[in-house]
């Protein structure tokens, strides 16, 4: 039993393997957050003492006692306009003008299994591991009910939350804010870690002190965005990779989000996360309900590394539904950086043939195969083959690729339309544009109005036809612009504020139908690289193209930032040509392989253009990737360096769950002058066991023969003393060390 109700004290304890989360109903019915942290045997209600706070109003019931202001209560779901001036979790106005919410306890239920969020992805529970707690709160003036859902995943140390806001009154309610979760932390020196970026530089790590006032991580781009990922960590100032208290807050949402952190006058910290209320409103007729996206919370008392591994396991086990979480995904070659729009059947076949010779298993045909798509100015929306490039259609090409013994995959960007397309000419009103205003253009394309069912139905038809008529085993689902000029021609004037979220619901509906109808197709998410890298997209596609930046050095930092919240199995990573197309940098082919071998592995260049030695390197990379597949996709991931951009090198390690094998990777971004060989303390091994260095490969540099030929070390020695690498000099050398328990 992971949810325990202590009836007398009206306390709920949610217990996972290592953590406990506790809340209580106060005498006046406030739902108070008591504690979230390492598991203890105690009830934690002693932590909370109501007190008076100057200029913070007290509840009416306590007016003569002048004690117990809600402005100082740690709240489970903060109200608004009712005495708590900190971040609110919900904002609502009734038709008669009553604004805000003073949430008080009504009832609760404990249910077996995991609640689901309708119309949106949410964590699932395959083995009946989870339990659900529903706590019902109500504001009596507005009649607004907040049903707080908590699911406890004991094994993975995760608690998920979502909220259902119900109009329990006789009149309409306009929601202006509907957060997924509110988490109050005690006074202390907290840091906020968030993952910001831009196109080709996603999920860069920034760690800042939580300041007095409000800090916001958000997107109002209609996508979770390259710019700010919907995931933050709050940790103690002293917390590091292997030490200290850390809390993760991750949204299972792909649209505009907002995660706010407020340190208030008494020094406590509140974090509220959900849909971005700046671009949101929702109309609730009497009896109607609104469901928020889910938030995934996790706590680690042993540093950031543990927190990341908890998220990795959780996402692999309870978020990614695809059968390719268990079945092996093929090593692929994608023609984008090899040809861009300039290809025909002969060129594609040539790329496939060369790749097949080296062991590549799937050919992915990227942008440009459809409509009149010869550049990015036309064709989006016309999901039928461009016969000028591929004479006779896709089938003859697919048959030839299949005859080589390779699978075939394809690129689509269904949410978009070019003005120069048959689709736009037939349905100009299907694009999101504001009447009377010229829309802002991005990549010369517009966004289709997925808030409209007829648009989603049409897209389903077009894509289902593509998949039914052709032997396509993989789909790369791209999204190459953000939403501006949001106005739906199908939506009443007073409900236009619902369009951004309805767009996301339409996208989920489309993905749900397609992934259900074509369960054998491997979907890979993409949005100009990693511009929609979030847990909700991982529900539909077990991997996401991590970035359009394929430079083996810049990718280290992008993948490191990504690793804080997301598992390596979710990262699409390719070896590309040099000089790299994004940075111009030249790195050894071996190092490009080491960097890319941290996720769903593939190639993105014309392998036929490589030298014989490079081809041999590719052959051996693929063989090694197969050997390490389970470690990379299912092993525990350890950052051996953190915030590596400021270091000379980046290193990381995979360890199998049974600690029987491990893969250590190191890339030297800047050679070390006047210093000895690099020594790195390994992690996650069995200290009692002995490990043999089965293979150590150095790429991009010929090290002198080691003086010490020792090959077997105890786990304790490798973790406490470290592994000593040979000197690595030159341009971006790297090393990969494979260890096995003996
Ligand atoms: C996006 C993707 C790329 C490629 C192009 C094609 O930028 O991230 O990988 O598919 O679109 O236009």
**Vertex 137, ends 118 and 39: CA angle to 5°?**
85
Instruction: List pLDDT tens digits, range 395-434.
Output: 999 999 999 999 999 999 999 999 999 999 999 999 999 9
pLDDT at 674 over 80: no
Do 605 and 689 sit in the same domain of this protein? no
In a domain, 564, yes or no: no
Q: What is the mean pLDDT of residues 709-714?
A: 93
Do 67 and 188 sit in the same domain of this protein? yes
What percent of the chain lies above the pLDDT cut of 70? 100
pLDDT at 127 over 90: no
Out of 85-99, 298-312, 315-329, 670-684, pick the least confident: 670-684
Give the pLDDT band of residue 129 (cuts 50, 70, 90). Answer: confident
Query: Nearest C-alpha to atom 11 of ligand 1 is from which residue?
Result: 528
Q: What is the mean pLDDT of residues 476-482?
A: 98
At 1 the pLDDT is 76
Domain residues for the domain of 230 are 3-318
CA-nearest of 477, 451, 520 to 119 is 451
Query: What is the domain-level CATH number for residue 609?
Result: 3.20.20.70
Q: What are the E-state strand segments in 478-611? A: 522-525, 543-545, 571-576, 600-604
Do 336 and 289 sit in the same domain of this protein? no
614 counts as catalytic: yes
Query: Who's near 317: CB < 8 A, 6+ residues apart?
Result: 126, 156
In a domain, 563, yes or no: no
Do 472 and 540 sit in the same domain of this protein? yes
Query: What is the domain-level CATH number for residue 84?
Result: 2.70.98.60
Q: How far is the CA of 597 from the centre of ligand 1 (A)?
A: 21
In a domain, 568, yes or no: no
CA-nearest of 25, 64, 58, 22 to 39 is 22
At 5 the pLDDT is 98
The residue among 295, 318, 341 that closes a domain is 318
Q: How far is the CA of 500 from the centre of ligand 1 (A)?
A: 24
At 536 the pLDDT is 98
Is 188 buried (19+), middle (13-18) or exposed (0-12) by CB count in 10 A? middle
In a domain, 190, yes or no: yes
Do 309 and 344 sit in the same domain of this protein? no
Q: How far is the CA of 545 from the centre of ligand 1 (A)?
A: 9
pLDDT at 67 over 90: no
**Distances, alpha carbon 365 to alpha carbons 19, 84, 200, 238, 411, in Å:** 46, 55, 21, 48, 6
pLDDT at 494 over 90: yes
At 378 the pLDDT is 97
Give the pLDDT band of residue 280 (cuts 50, 70, 90). Answer: very high
Do 678 and 545 sit in the same domain of this protein? no
Do 272 and 358 sit in the same domain of this protein? no
The residue among 289, 318, 347 that closes a domain is 318
Number of domains in the chain: 3
Do 284 and 347 sit in the same domain of this protein? no
What percent of the chain lies above the pLDDT cut of 90? 94
Determine which one of 534, 551, 554, 634 is catalytic: 534
The residue among 318, 347, 381 that closes a domain is 318
Atom number, ligand 1, closest to the C-alpha of residue 604: 9
Do 156 and 264 sit in the same domain of this protein? yes
374 counts as catalytic: no
Atom number, ligand 1, closest to the C-alpha of residue 376: 12
Give the pLDDT band of residue 677 (cuts 50, 70, 90). Answer: confident
Determine which one of 614, 627, 630, 686 is catalytic: 614
Q: State the chain's mean pLDDT as an integer.
A: 97
In a domain, 323, yes or no: no
At 611 the pLDDT is 97
At 195 the pLDDT is 98
* More confidently predicted of 702 and 155: 155
Instruction: List pLDDT tens digits, range 45-63.
Output: 999 888 889 999 999 999 8
Q: What is the mean pLDDT of residues 489-500?
A: 97
In this structure, the residues whose C-beta lies within 6 A of any atom of ligand 1 are 336, 366-367, 411, 478, 480, 526, 528-529, 545, 548
Peptide bond into 273 cis (omega under 30): no
Coil, strand or helix: which one is 306? helix
At 462 the pLDDT is 98
Pinpoint the alpha helices (H) of 446-588: 453-469, 499-517, 535-540, 554-563
In whole angstroms, what is the distance from residue 155 CA to residue 128 CA? Answer: 11
At 248 the pLDDT is 98
Query: Nearest C-alpha to atom 7 of ligand 1 is from which residue?
Result: 528
pLDDT at 160 over 80: yes
In a domain, 327, yes or no: no
In a domain, 84, yes or no: yes
Give the pLDDT band of residue 149 (cuts 50, 70, 90). Answer: very high
Ligand 1, pocket-test mutation among 365, 377, 379, 526, most atoms within 8 A of CB: 526
Q: Quick one: angle between helices 394-403 and 345-358, nearest 10?
A: 20
pLDDT at 672 over 80: no
Query: Two tokens at 649?
Result: 């090198």
Do 221 and 338 sit in the same domain of this protein? no
Q: Position of tokens 């709240």? A: 75
Q: How far is the CA of 200 from the centre of ligand 1 (A)?
A: 11
Query: What is the domain-level CATH number for residue 727?
Result: 2.60.40.1180
Query: Nearest C-alpha to atom 2 of ligand 1 is from which residue?
Result: 528
Q: How far is the CA of 476 from the centre of ligand 1 (A)?
A: 9
In a domain, 253, yes or no: yes
Q: What is the mean pLDDT of residues 132-146?
A: 97
Do 358 and 270 sit in the same domain of this protein? no
Give the pLDDT band of residue 126 (cuts 50, 70, 90). Answer: confident
At 673 the pLDDT is 79
At 709 the pLDDT is 81
Do 79 and 57 sit in the same domain of this protein? yes
DSSP 608: G
pLDDT at 347 over 80: yes
């Amino acid at each position: 039993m992971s949810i325990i109700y202590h009836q007398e004290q009206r306390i709920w304890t949610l217990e996972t393997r290592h953590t406990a989360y506790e809340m209580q109903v106060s005498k006046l019915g406030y739902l108070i957050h008591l504690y979230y942290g390492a598991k203890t045997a105690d009830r934690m209600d002693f932590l909370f003492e109501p007190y008076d706070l100057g200029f913070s109003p007290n509840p009416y019931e306590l007016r003569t006692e002048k004690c117990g202001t809600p402005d100082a209560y740690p709240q489970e779901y903060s109200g608004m306009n009712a005495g708590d001036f900190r971040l609110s979790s919900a904002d609502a106005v009734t038709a008669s003008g009553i604004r805000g919410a003073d949430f008080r306890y009504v009832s609760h239920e404990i249910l077996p299994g995991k609640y689901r969020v309708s119309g949106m992805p949410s964590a699932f529970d395959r083995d009946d591991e989870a339990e659900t707690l529903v706590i019902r709160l109500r504001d009596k003036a507005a009649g607004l009910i907040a049903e707080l859902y908590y699911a406890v995943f004991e094994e993975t140390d995760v608690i998920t939350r979502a909220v259902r806001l119900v109009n329990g009154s006789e009149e309409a309610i306009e929601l202006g804010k509907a957060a997924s979760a509110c988490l109050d932390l005690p006074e202390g020196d907290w840091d906020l870690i968030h993952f910001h970026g831009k196109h080709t530089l996603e999920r860069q790590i920034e760690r800042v002190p939580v300041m007095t006032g409000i800090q916001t991580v958000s997107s109002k781009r209609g996508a979770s965005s390259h710019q700010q990922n919907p995931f933050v960590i709050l940790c103690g100032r002293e917390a590091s990779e292997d030490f200290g208290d850390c809390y993760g807050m991750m949204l299972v949402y792909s649209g505009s989000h907002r995660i706010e952190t407020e340190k208030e006058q008494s020094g406590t910290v509140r974090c509220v996360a959900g849909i971005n209320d700046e671009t949101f409103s929702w109309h609730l007729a009497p009896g109607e309900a609104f469901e928020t996206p889910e938030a995934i919370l996790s706590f680690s008392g042993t540093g950031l590394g543990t927190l990341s591994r908890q998220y990795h396991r959780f996402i692999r086990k309870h978020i990614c539904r695809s059968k390719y979480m268990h079945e092996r995904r093929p090593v692929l070659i994608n023609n984008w950086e090899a040809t861009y729009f300039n290809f025909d059947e002969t060129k594609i076949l040539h790329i496939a043939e060369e790749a097949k010779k080296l062991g590549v298993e799937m050919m992915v045909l990227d942008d440009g195969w459809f409509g009149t798509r010869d550049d990015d100015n036309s064709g989006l929306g016309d999901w039928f083959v461009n016969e000028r490039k591929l004479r006779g259609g896709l089938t003859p090409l697919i048959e030839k690729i299949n005859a080589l013994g390779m699978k075939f995959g394809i690129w689509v960007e269904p949410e978009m339309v070019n003005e120069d397309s048959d689709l736009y000419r037939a349905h100009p009103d299907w694009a999101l544009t504001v009447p009377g205003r010229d829309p802002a253009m991005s990549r010369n394309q517009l966004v289709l109005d997925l808030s409209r069912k007829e648009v989603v139905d049409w897209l389903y038809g077009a894509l289902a036809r593509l998949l039914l008529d052709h032997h396509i085993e993989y789909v790369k689902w791209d999204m190459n612009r953000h939403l501006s000029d949001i106005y739906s021609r199908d939506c009443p004037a007073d409900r236009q504020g619902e369009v951004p979220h309805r767009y996301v619901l339409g996208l989920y509906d489309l993905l749900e139908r397609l992934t259900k109808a074509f369960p054998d197709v491997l979907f890979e998410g993409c949005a100009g690289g990693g511009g929609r890298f979030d847990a909700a997209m991982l529900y539909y596609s077990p991997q996401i193209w991590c970035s359009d930046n394929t430079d083996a050095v810049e990718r280290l930092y992008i993948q490191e930032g990504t690793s804080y919240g997301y598992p390596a199995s979710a990262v699409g990573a390719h070896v590309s040509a040099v000089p790299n197309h994004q940075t111009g940098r030249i790195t050894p082919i071996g190092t490009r392989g080491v960097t890319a071998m941290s996720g769903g592995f593939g190639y993105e260049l014309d392998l036929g253009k490589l030298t014989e030695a490079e081809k041999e390197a590719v052959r051996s990379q693929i063989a090694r990737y197969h050997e390490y597949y389970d470690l990379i996709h299912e092993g525990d991931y350890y950052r051996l360096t953190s915030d590596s951009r400021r270091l000379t090198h980046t290193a990381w390690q995979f360890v199998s769950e049974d600690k029987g094998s491990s893969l250590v990777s190191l890339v030297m971004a800047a050679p070390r002058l006047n210093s000895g060989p690099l020594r790195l303390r390994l992690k996650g091994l069995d200290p009692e066991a002995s490990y043999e260095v089965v293979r150590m490969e150095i790429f991009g540099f010929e090290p002198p023969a080691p003086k010490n030929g020792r090959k077997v070390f105890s786990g304790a020695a490798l973790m406490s003393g470290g592994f000593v690498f040979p000197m690595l000099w030159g341009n971006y050398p790297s090393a990969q060390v494979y260890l096995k328990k003996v």
